[in-house]
Amino acid sequence: MSGTLLNAVWQGIVILVGGTLLGMIYKGLDRKLAAQMQGRIGPPIRQPFFDVIKLMVKENVVPDHAVGWLYNLMPLLSLASVATLLFYLPLGGFQPLLGGFGDLILILYLLAVPSIAMVLGGFAAGSPLATVGAQREMVMMMAYEFPLAITFLSLGWTLSTFMPGAHVFSLSVLAANPLWGMVGPLGVIGLILLFAALMIVTPAELAKIPFDIPEAETEIAGGILAEYSGRNMAMFYLADAIKMVVMGSLTVALFFPYGLSGLVGLSGAWGSVIDVAFYLVKVFVVIFFAVIVVRVAFARIKIGQAARLFWLPITGISLLGMLLLTLDRFV
């Protein structure tokens, strides 16, 4: 029993440290490649590490009119929630440290916690700029969570028709049984539509351009984070980096969980190395197209435009994908 617990502890530490480092590297690549695509030099890839170190040594300022305990608790809650998500993801083809009968639903809830924490932190700051940012974050969250939930539920429900009695809302089960080879032509189109919806939701979940409306430095001076500094700001920064890995890994696990070791005929340690490297490439590709390309190609949109985009076209795309997956059973 003690050996099993010790094994779980060190695996958890490796996942936390590895996920954090990976998120910081991807964040550095995001900034560097976006700058290069815009004709700028950009910061070095290691810049996020410098930023976190700088924030950690700076004074943690709490505004006079803030609700102190709530203001200080929210960054920790945001970081804890995204760190917990790492334990439910099949990283690099390995089984997740935690998992259960309906962890896909739990993941959906945990994804909302960082946004809720930022909203509460913004309101607790006692700043008009932070309050405006918190209101915008609430509208954004209510808009993009619906198509995200439809995507998750559609995939789990479709797998249940092929595997009755299986724990289809377990992410590890979905990753082990990709739907592309099970469905017919209509189902493939449905999966493509759900994948497109998830790719559009991803930059909104990460609050990246064109959906960085709650922060909007040029409009509301950082908005929801306007009053944060020091280690509190560092925790929000780390949570954002880890969440980038989480969203990329979710997309890979749901739609592209395939390994490379079987194709090249490798097994054992070398097979695991190949699969982990392939996983890192897949996550980067998702981040590149869902985050980097989008932030370079589009300017920030208004909050009303963002709400209409997710409530109408994107929800419609996800519902159409679900409908096509349903009809595929009868064709």
Q: What is the DSSP letter of 65?
A: T
- Phi/psi of residue 216, nearest 5 degrees: 35, 70
User: Looking at residues 83-89, what average pLDDT do you find?
Assistant: 91
pLDDT band at 222 (very low <50, low <70, confident <90, very high): low
Confidence class for position 83, pLDDT limits 50, 70, 90: very high
**pLDDT score at 316:** 94
Q: What Cα–Cα distance (Å) separates residue 304 from each residue in 133, 138, 313?
A: 14, 12, 14
Rounded Cα distance between 82 and 288, Å, is: 20
CB 52 within 8 A of CB 239: no
**What pLDDT, on the 0 to 100 scale, is given for residue 2?**
55
Q: Give me the residue label for tokens 């004074």.
A: 59
CB atoms within 10 A of CB 58: 13
What pLDDT, on a 0 to 100 scale, did the predictor assign at position 139?
Answer: 87
Mean per-residue pLDDT of the chain: 86
Q: Rounded to an integer, what distance in angstroms lies between the CA atom of residue 268 and that of residue 22?
A: 24
CB burial class (10 A; 0-12, 13-18, 19+) of residue 121? buried
Q: What is the pLDDT of residues 136-186, one digit of tens each?
A: 888 888 889 999 999 999 998 888 888 887 777 888 888 888 888 888 899
- List of residues 6+ apart from 164 with CB closer than 8 A: none
- Residue 9's alpha-carbon distances to 12, 106, 172, 330, in angstroms, are 5, 21, 20, 47
pLDDT at 1 over 60: no
**Tokens (6 digits) for 32:** 């560097």
Specify the amino acid at residue 107: I
If phi > 0 it is left, if psi is from -120 to 50 it is alpha, else beta; for residue 279 that is alpha
**Angle at alpha carbon of residue 274, lines to 273 and 275, rounded to 5°:** 90
Q: What is the per-residue pLDDT for 317? A: 95
Rounded to the nearest 10 degrees, the angle between the axes of helix 230-255 and helix 185-205 is 180
Q: What is the pTM of this model?
A: 0.90
Predicted pLDDT at 201: 93
- The DSSP letter of residue 288 is I
pLDDT category, 101, cuts 50, 70, 90?
confident
What length does the chain have? 331
pLDDT tens for 23-69 read 999 999 998 999 998 888 889 999 999 999 999 898 888 887 888 88
